[in-house]
Structure 1
Amino acid sequence: MSEAAAAAVEQSLQIRPLQAAEIDAAVALWETAGLTRPWNDPHQDCRRAMGGPASEVLTAIVGGQLVGTVMVGHEGHRGWIYYLTVEPSLRGQQIGAQLVAAAEDWLGEQNIPKLMLMVREGNDVVASFYDKLGYSRQQVMTFGKFL
Protein backbone atom coordinates (compact mmCIF):
# COMPACT_ATOMS: atom_id res chain seq x y z
CA MET A 1 0.00 0.00 0.00
CA SER A 2 1.36 3.41 -0.91
CA GLU A 3 2.01 6.07 1.71
CA ALA A 4 -0.85 8.14 0.29
CA ALA A 5 -3.23 5.18 0.56
CA ALA A 6 -2.07 4.48 4.12
CA ALA A 7 -2.64 8.13 5.05
CA ALA A 8 -6.15 7.96 3.57
CA VAL A 9 -6.90 4.86 5.65
CA GLU A 10 -5.63 6.58 8.80
CA GLN A 11 -7.69 9.72 8.15
CA SER A 12 -10.93 7.86 7.51
CA LEU A 13 -10.57 5.23 10.26
CA GLN A 14 -13.46 5.18 12.71
CA ILE A 15 -13.73 2.78 15.66
CA ARG A 16 -17.21 2.17 17.00
CA PRO A 17 -19.44 -0.62 18.34
CA LEU A 18 -20.62 -3.24 15.88
CA GLN A 19 -24.16 -2.78 14.60
CA ALA A 20 -26.54 -5.74 14.31
CA ALA A 21 -26.67 -5.39 10.52
CA GLU A 22 -22.88 -5.89 10.42
CA ILE A 23 -22.72 -9.25 12.21
CA ASP A 24 -22.45 -11.25 8.98
CA ALA A 25 -19.61 -9.01 7.75
CA ALA A 26 -17.78 -9.41 11.06
CA VAL A 27 -18.15 -13.19 10.98
CA ALA A 28 -16.96 -13.29 7.36
CA LEU A 29 -13.86 -11.35 8.39
CA TRP A 30 -13.27 -13.77 11.30
CA GLU A 31 -13.59 -16.72 8.92
CA THR A 32 -11.16 -15.12 6.45
CA ALA A 33 -8.67 -14.65 9.30
CA GLY A 34 -9.07 -18.24 10.51
CA LEU A 35 -10.44 -17.21 13.89
CA THR A 36 -13.55 -19.39 13.90
CA ARG A 37 -13.68 -22.96 15.12
CA PRO A 38 -16.34 -25.60 14.37
CA TRP A 39 -17.30 -25.94 18.04
CA ASN A 40 -18.11 -22.20 18.42
CA ASP A 41 -20.96 -20.44 16.67
CA PRO A 42 -19.43 -17.04 15.79
CA HIS A 43 -22.82 -15.45 15.15
CA GLN A 44 -23.95 -16.47 18.63
CA ASP A 45 -20.63 -15.30 20.14
CA CYS A 46 -21.17 -11.94 18.50
CA ARG A 47 -24.80 -11.52 19.56
CA ARG A 48 -23.93 -12.60 23.12
CA ALA A 49 -21.15 -10.01 23.37
CA MET A 50 -23.30 -7.26 21.87
CA GLY A 51 -26.16 -7.99 24.26
CA GLY A 52 -24.26 -8.00 27.53
CA PRO A 53 -23.44 -5.13 29.88
CA ALA A 54 -19.91 -6.47 30.39
CA SER A 55 -18.94 -6.92 26.73
CA GLU A 56 -18.84 -5.24 23.35
CA VAL A 57 -17.67 -5.85 19.80
CA LEU A 58 -15.73 -2.89 18.45
CA THR A 59 -15.20 -2.36 14.75
CA ALA A 60 -12.75 -0.51 12.56
CA ILE A 61 -14.55 1.23 9.71
CA VAL A 62 -12.69 2.68 6.71
CA GLY A 63 -14.60 4.31 3.91
CA GLY A 64 -17.87 2.96 5.28
CA GLN A 65 -16.56 -0.63 5.22
CA LEU A 66 -15.98 -2.89 8.21
CA VAL A 67 -12.26 -3.73 8.05
CA GLY A 68 -11.47 -4.90 11.59
CA THR A 69 -12.96 -6.12 14.85
CA VAL A 70 -12.15 -6.82 18.45
CA MET A 71 -14.47 -8.41 21.00
CA VAL A 72 -13.90 -7.14 24.53
CA GLY A 73 -15.44 -8.18 27.81
CA HIS A 74 -14.79 -8.67 31.50
CA GLU A 75 -15.85 -10.63 34.56
CA GLY A 76 -15.40 -7.78 37.01
CA HIS A 77 -11.62 -7.95 37.48
CA ARG A 78 -9.95 -9.15 34.30
CA GLY A 79 -10.81 -8.00 30.84
CA TRP A 80 -10.38 -10.24 27.83
CA ILE A 81 -10.15 -9.64 24.11
CA TYR A 82 -11.11 -12.04 21.34
CA TYR A 83 -11.69 -11.97 17.60
CA LEU A 84 -9.10 -9.27 16.91
CA THR A 85 -8.52 -9.10 13.19
CA VAL A 86 -8.00 -6.69 10.35
CA GLU A 87 -8.77 -7.10 6.66
CA PRO A 88 -5.62 -8.78 5.28
CA SER A 89 -4.98 -6.08 2.65
CA LEU A 90 -4.91 -3.41 5.39
CA ARG A 91 -2.66 -5.14 7.90
CA GLY A 92 0.43 -3.21 8.92
CA GLN A 93 -1.46 0.11 9.01
CA GLN A 94 -1.83 0.19 12.83
CA ILE A 95 -5.55 -0.63 12.65
CA GLY A 96 -5.08 -3.67 14.89
CA ALA A 97 -3.11 -1.60 17.40
CA GLN A 98 -5.87 1.01 17.41
CA LEU A 99 -8.51 -1.65 18.00
CA VAL A 100 -6.50 -2.99 20.96
CA ALA A 101 -6.18 0.57 22.32
CA ALA A 102 -9.96 1.03 21.95
CA ALA A 103 -10.55 -2.24 23.84
CA GLU A 104 -8.16 -1.06 26.57
CA ASP A 105 -10.04 2.25 26.78
CA TRP A 106 -13.39 0.45 26.96
CA LEU A 107 -12.12 -1.68 29.84
CA GLY A 108 -10.69 1.40 31.55
CA GLU A 109 -14.12 3.01 31.41
CA GLN A 110 -15.44 -0.11 33.18
CA ASN A 111 -12.72 0.22 35.90
CA ILE A 112 -11.17 -3.11 34.94
CA PRO A 113 -7.50 -3.22 36.04
CA LYS A 114 -6.07 -5.96 33.80
CA LEU A 115 -6.43 -7.15 30.22
CA MET A 116 -5.81 -10.76 29.25
CA LEU A 117 -5.83 -12.54 25.91
CA MET A 118 -4.99 -15.91 24.49
CA VAL A 119 -2.87 -16.69 21.44
CA ARG A 120 -2.89 -20.17 19.99
CA GLU A 121 0.39 -22.06 20.35
CA GLY A 122 2.63 -21.55 17.32
CA ASN A 123 0.98 -18.31 16.18
CA ASP A 124 4.26 -16.40 16.29
CA VAL A 125 3.09 -13.50 14.10
CA VAL A 126 0.26 -12.67 16.50
CA ALA A 127 2.45 -13.23 19.57
CA SER A 128 4.98 -10.76 18.13
CA PHE A 129 2.19 -8.22 17.52
CA TYR A 130 1.22 -8.31 21.20
CA ASP A 131 4.87 -8.24 22.30
CA LYS A 132 5.28 -4.98 20.34
CA LEU A 133 2.22 -3.53 22.07
CA GLY A 134 3.81 -4.11 25.48
CA TYR A 135 1.96 -7.25 26.50
CA SER A 136 3.91 -9.85 28.45
CA ARG A 137 3.58 -13.60 28.36
CA GLN A 138 1.97 -14.90 31.53
CA GLN A 139 3.14 -18.07 33.24
CA VAL A 140 -0.27 -19.74 33.36
CA MET A 141 -2.05 -22.71 31.84
CA THR A 142 -5.51 -22.24 30.42
CA PHE A 143 -8.09 -24.93 31.10
CA GLY A 144 -11.49 -25.20 29.51
CA LYS A 145 -14.60 -27.32 29.47
CA PHE A 146 -17.55 -27.21 27.10
CA LEU A 147 -20.84 -27.03 28.98
Structure 2
Amino acid sequence: MEGRASSFAQRRARNTEVRDGKAKIGELDGKINALQSKNSDLENQMNEIQQELVEARGKICGLETEIQCEQKERSDEFTKINSKISQSDDRSTKIGADLKEIDSKVAEMSRKMEADLVDERQRNRELERKIAEMKRKNDDLETQLY
Protein backbone atom coordinates (compact mmCIF):
# COMPACT_ATOMS: atom_id res chain seq x y z
CA MET A 1 0.00 0.00 0.00
CA GLU A 2 2.87 2.23 0.56
CA GLY A 3 3.84 1.92 -3.09
CA ARG A 4 0.38 2.94 -4.10
CA ALA A 5 0.32 5.93 -1.79
CA SER A 6 3.67 7.05 -3.01
CA SER A 7 2.59 6.69 -6.63
CA PHE A 8 -0.64 8.50 -5.88
CA ALA A 9 1.26 11.33 -4.20
CA GLN A 10 3.56 11.52 -7.19
CA ARG A 11 0.61 11.73 -9.58
CA ARG A 12 -1.04 14.31 -7.45
CA ALA A 13 2.18 16.37 -7.38
CA ARG A 14 2.44 16.05 -11.17
CA ASN A 15 -1.18 17.06 -11.61
CA THR A 16 -0.56 20.10 -9.43
CA GLU A 17 2.53 20.93 -11.47
CA VAL A 18 0.57 20.54 -14.71
CA ARG A 19 -2.24 22.74 -13.38
CA ASP A 20 0.25 25.32 -12.16
CA GLY A 21 2.06 25.14 -15.54
CA LYS A 22 -1.24 25.55 -17.43
CA ALA A 23 -2.18 28.49 -15.19
CA LYS A 24 1.26 30.01 -15.78
CA ILE A 25 0.87 29.41 -19.55
CA GLY A 26 -2.57 31.07 -19.46
CA GLU A 27 -1.15 33.99 -17.51
CA LEU A 28 1.77 34.33 -19.95
CA ASP A 29 -0.62 34.00 -22.93
CA GLY A 30 -2.65 36.91 -21.46
CA LYS A 31 0.51 38.98 -21.05
CA ILE A 32 1.61 38.09 -24.60
CA ASN A 33 -1.82 39.08 -25.95
CA ALA A 34 -1.70 42.36 -23.99
CA LEU A 35 1.82 43.07 -25.28
CA GLN A 36 0.80 42.18 -28.85
CA SER A 37 -2.20 44.52 -28.55
CA LYS A 38 0.01 47.25 -27.12
CA ASN A 39 2.59 46.59 -29.88
CA SER A 40 -0.17 46.85 -32.50
CA ASP A 41 -1.34 50.15 -30.99
CA LEU A 42 2.23 51.44 -30.98
CA GLU A 43 2.69 50.36 -34.62
CA ASN A 44 -0.53 52.20 -35.53
CA GLN A 45 0.69 55.31 -33.69
CA MET A 46 4.07 55.00 -35.41
CA ASN A 47 2.34 54.72 -38.82
CA GLU A 48 0.25 57.82 -38.03
CA ILE A 49 3.36 59.71 -36.91
CA GLN A 50 5.22 58.61 -40.06
CA GLN A 51 2.28 59.83 -42.16
CA GLU A 52 2.31 63.16 -40.30
CA LEU A 53 6.08 63.31 -40.85
CA VAL A 54 5.61 62.75 -44.60
CA GLU A 55 2.97 65.51 -44.67
CA ALA A 56 5.20 67.83 -42.63
CA ARG A 57 8.13 67.17 -44.98
CA GLY A 58 5.85 67.98 -47.92
CA LYS A 59 4.82 71.24 -46.27
CA ILE A 60 8.46 72.04 -45.48
CA CYS A 61 9.42 71.43 -49.12
CA GLY A 62 6.57 73.69 -50.23
CA LEU A 63 7.63 76.41 -47.80
CA GLU A 64 11.28 76.09 -48.84
CA THR A 65 10.24 76.48 -52.48
CA GLU A 66 8.10 79.49 -51.56
CA ILE A 67 11.01 81.01 -49.62
CA GLN A 68 13.36 80.46 -52.56
CA CYS A 69 10.87 82.15 -54.90
CA GLU A 70 10.50 85.10 -52.52
CA GLN A 71 14.28 85.34 -52.13
CA LYS A 72 14.66 85.34 -55.93
CA GLU A 73 11.99 88.04 -56.24
CA ARG A 74 13.71 90.14 -53.56
CA SER A 75 17.07 89.57 -55.22
CA ASP A 76 15.59 90.69 -58.55
CA GLU A 77 14.07 93.75 -56.83
CA PHE A 78 17.40 94.60 -55.20
CA THR A 79 19.13 94.20 -58.57
CA LYS A 80 16.63 96.58 -60.17
CA ILE A 81 16.97 99.05 -57.28
CA ASN A 82 20.77 98.87 -57.43
CA SER A 83 20.60 99.41 -61.19
CA LYS A 84 18.37 102.46 -60.68
CA ILE A 85 20.71 103.76 -57.98
CA SER A 86 23.66 103.25 -60.31
CA GLN A 87 21.82 105.04 -63.12
CA SER A 88 20.88 107.81 -60.69
CA ASP A 89 24.51 108.06 -59.57
CA ASP A 90 25.60 108.21 -63.21
CA ARG A 91 23.03 110.95 -63.87
CA SER A 92 24.12 112.80 -60.75
CA THR A 93 27.74 112.54 -61.86
CA LYS A 94 26.82 113.81 -65.34
CA ILE A 95 24.71 116.61 -63.86
CA GLY A 96 27.58 117.50 -61.54
CA ALA A 97 29.98 117.60 -64.49
CA ASP A 98 27.48 119.65 -66.52
CA LEU A 99 27.07 122.08 -63.61
CA LYS A 100 30.84 122.46 -63.29
CA GLU A 101 31.07 123.13 -67.02
CA ILE A 102 28.22 125.67 -66.78
CA ASP A 103 29.85 127.31 -63.73
CA SER A 104 33.11 127.50 -65.65
CA LYS A 105 31.38 129.05 -68.67
CA VAL A 106 29.47 131.50 -66.45
CA ALA A 107 32.70 132.47 -64.69
CA GLU A 108 34.43 132.92 -68.07
CA MET A 109 31.50 134.97 -69.41
CA SER A 110 31.45 137.01 -66.21
CA ARG A 111 35.19 137.77 -66.53
CA LYS A 112 34.71 138.67 -70.20
CA MET A 113 31.71 140.88 -69.42
CA GLU A 114 33.63 142.60 -66.63
CA ALA A 115 36.56 143.17 -68.99
CA ASP A 116 34.15 144.44 -71.67
CA LEU A 117 32.51 146.68 -69.07
CA VAL A 118 35.90 148.12 -68.09
CA ASP A 119 36.72 148.63 -71.78
CA GLU A 120 33.33 150.26 -72.43
CA ARG A 121 33.70 152.55 -69.40
CA GLN A 122 37.14 153.54 -70.61
CA ARG A 123 35.75 154.12 -74.12
CA ASN A 124 32.87 156.17 -72.63
CA ARG A 125 35.35 158.30 -70.67
CA GLU A 126 37.39 158.72 -73.84
CA LEU A 127 34.26 159.71 -75.78
CA GLU A 128 33.14 162.06 -72.98
CA ARG A 129 36.63 163.59 -73.00
CA LYS A 130 36.44 164.02 -76.81
CA ILE A 131 32.92 165.47 -76.53
CA ALA A 132 34.11 167.89 -73.85
CA GLU A 133 37.10 168.81 -76.02
CA MET A 134 34.84 169.31 -79.07
CA LYS A 135 32.51 171.46 -76.97
CA ARG A 136 35.45 173.61 -75.90
CA LYS A 137 36.59 173.90 -79.49
CA ASN A 138 33.02 174.66 -80.56
CA ASP A 139 32.74 177.27 -77.81
CA ASP A 140 36.09 178.74 -78.87
CA LEU A 141 34.93 178.89 -82.48
CA GLU A 142 31.66 180.53 -81.49
CA THR A 143 33.57 183.04 -79.41
CA GLN A 144 35.85 183.84 -82.36
CA LEU A 145 32.84 184.27 -84.65
CA TYR A 146 31.13 186.87 -82.51
* TM category, shorter: under 0.3
Tell me: higher relative CO, structure 1 or 2? Use CA pairs within 8 A at least 6 residues apart: 1
TM-score, L = length of structure 1: 0.15
Answer with 1 or 2: which has the greater Rg: 2
TM-score, L = length of structure 2: 0.15
